[in-house]
Structure 1
Amino acid sequence: MNVIGEAIGELCKIILPINEEYYLGNPNSSIAVCTLSSMNLLKNFANSEILNKISIVGRLLSENKGIDSIIKYVNKNPQVDTIIVCGKEVWGHKPGHSLLELHKNGIDQKNRIINSTSPDPYLTVSKPEIRYFQHKINLVNLINETRFELILEKSSVF
């Protein structure tokens, strides 16, 4: 791991703490929504009737702990088979890109997401959990789309 990067990350946690924010919807739904860094988009989903049609909606801000959380969630909630990835990509970290690369390529021997261009794409989840994610989850790539109505229209799962 990059020592300077870790130090900067810890400093950011103190100066700019970012709460993990997600909203639970219908526990029987097969759909999850990831709004990347788009807070307004997250609120649109959380405050609409669509929340009754999705399992969870949340943000993804990091290419490591955030993706670990997604992998754990889908493994614990086997009814989820689709994740809509939308909203603004996080500049510098590119967790949306890393999530797509993980789905396509998996991880190497050092638990690094293969072909990720993120600065710290190392995961702690197990390889069986990642394989489950790769084989059981369909990703709908709408990265950088922030228009709520257009996401509903383009995702074609509602």
Structure 2
Amino acid sequence: MNVIGEAIGELCKVILPINEEFYLGNPDSKIAICTLSSMDLLKNIANSEMLNKISIVGRLLSENKGIDSIIKYVNKNHKVNTIIVCGKDVWGHKSGHSLFQLHKNGTDQNNRIINSSSPDPFLTVSKSEIKYFQDNVKLVNLINVTETEVIFKKF
């Protein structure tokens, strides 16, 4: 990222702070849900009985730090072997698209997600953490699905 981009990012953190939002469920569950930018969907799942059937539900707004967080979570929580990716993707960032490209293609020598069309798809996690994610986690593509009934049928 360039200096101007970094400065704008820091300014946005102050003017428009975005809290990391996730809700922990059943630590023995093998399923996680990522609602991308759909905050209402995130709240609906977090406030439903479904939270007892999943390990975690959270959002994914960025193609870099957000994906780093997912990779770190599955590397620490080896029971999770499925992530349902649902909700509306983040316009401009395409974080859901980048997550699937990472799973399929990994990263290049500069830690850039291969074939990502996101503006800043550079990760800080290690190659071994990415490899674990690729080999041990199944992604279920429900991008643009916001109906909880449809999502819950994937269990």
Q: Please, what TM-score do these two structures have when normalized by structure 1?
A: 0.96
SS across alignment from 2:142: strand
Q: 1:32-59: CA deviations, max 9, x gaps?
A: 0000011110011101110000000000
Structure 1 alignment gaps of length 5 or more = none
Looking at structure 1, the residues matched to 117 and 5 of structure 2 have their Cα atoms a distance apart, in angstroms, of: 15
CA deviations 1:25-83 (Å, max 9, x no partner) are 00000000000011110011101110000000000010000000000000000000000
2:152 alignment counterpart: 152
Please tell me the residue identity of whatever aligns with 1:134.
Answer: Q
Structure 1 residues 93-133: Cα deviation after superposition (integer angstroms, max 9, x where no partner): 11100000000000000000000000000000000000000
Quick one: distance in 1 between partners of 2:94 and 2:6? 17
Mind listing any 5+ residue stretches in structure 2 that lack a counterpart? none
Equivalent AA in structure 1 for residue 72 of structure 2: K
Counterpart Cα distance in 1 of 2:2 and 2:80:
34
Paired residue type of 1:64: N
Same amino acid, percent of matched pairs: 79
CA distance in 2, matches of 1:28, 1:143: 25
Distance 2:62 2:19 in 1: 12
The residue type paired with residue 29 of structure 1 is: S
- Counting only pairs closer than 5 Å after superposition, residues 35-74 of structure 1 correspond to structure 2 as 35-74=35-74
Spell out the pairing of 1:70-81 with structure 2 (5 A cutoff).
70-81=70-81
The Cα shift of 1:151 comes to 1.5
Aligned-partner Cα distance in 2 for 1:58–1:134: 20
Query: For 2:145 and 2:12, how far apart are their aligned partners in 1?
Result: 27
1:89-128 matched pairs, under 5 angstroms? 89-128=89-128
Q: Does 1:136 align with 2:143?
A: no
Aligned to 2:11: 11
Give the alignment's TM-score, normalised by structure 2.
Answer: 0.98
State the SS of the aligned residue for 1:57: strand
Where in structure 1 do 4 or more consecutive aligned residues deviate above 3 Å? none
- Cα distance in 2, alignment partners of residues 14 and 92 from structure 1: 20
Paired residue secondary structure (1:113): coil
- CA distance in 2: counterparts of 1:5 and 1:149, whole angstroms: 39
1:21 match:
21
C-alpha RMSD over aligned residues: 0.7
**How many correspondences in the alignment?**
155
Amino acid at match of 2:12: C
SS across alignment from 1:86: strand
One-letter code of the match for 1:88? K
